[in-house]
Amino acid sequence: MRGILRKEELKPKFEKFLSWLEEIEPRNKGKYSMSKAIQYVLNNKEGLMEFTNDAIIPHDNTSCERSIRPFVVIRNRCKFSVSVHGAQASAMIYSLVISCIENKQNPYMYFTHLFENLPKLDLTNKEELRKYLPYSRELPSYIRTLSKSEIKAILNEAKSQV
């Protein structure tokens, strides 16, 4: 359905936009940034037109921008580290946070678990330390991030017991 609407509604509008760009292109030759933008669109119009043919192709890059935003934010924060060691430490912590998220672990609970248990460990024993990495199956279950459906099931079970 969305694909049909794109072809019927967006394709004619995009074609009209391309025609307008072709019309104004000669008048913008001296304006470098505008001329460059117009030339980019006109040189790539076939590829840019693809979003009108397939509803799976997003018409903007919002989701991509949203997914890389955390990396850009941390990169900018690391610029203000006082030392190289501080920047490296920040990057390592951030890497652990992202690893927690990717492995469906709650970062706060994970770090709480680490801070409680690492002082008790032999830090030279790599096999023992491996058990504390975010992907380890030996981490306690309370660290795991619950999905919305899991939370609802727990709440429903608690209501039925009351």
Query: Are the C-beta atoms of 49 and 6 separated by less than 8 Å?
Result: no
- Give residue-wise pLDDT tens across range 57-86: 777 778 777 777 877 777 777 777 788 888
Question: Tell me, what's the pLDDT at 117?
Answer: 94
Answer with the residue of higher pLDDT: 6 or 108. 108
Other CB atoms within 10 Å distance of the CB of residue 160: 7
Going by pLDDT thresholds of 50, 70 and 90, the confidence category of residue 43 is: very high
Mean pLDDT of all residues in 39-62: 81
Percent of the chain with pLDDT over 70: 94
- The DSSP secondary-structure symbol of 118 reads G
Cross-strand bridge partners of residue 139: none
Which of 75, 15, 23 shows the shortest CA–CA distance to 51? 15
Q: Rounded to 5 degrees, what are φ and ψ at 131?
A: -65, -15
- The DSSP secondary-structure symbol of 147 reads P
Which of 1, 20, 11 shows the shortest CA–CA distance to 59? 11
Query: Are the C-beta atoms of 105 and 144 separated by less than 8 Å?
Result: yes
Q: pTM (2 decimals)?
A: 0.49
Residue 113, pLDDT above cutoff 90: yes
- CA 109, CA 156: separation in Å to the nearest integer? 24
The 3-state DSSP class for residue 18 equals helix
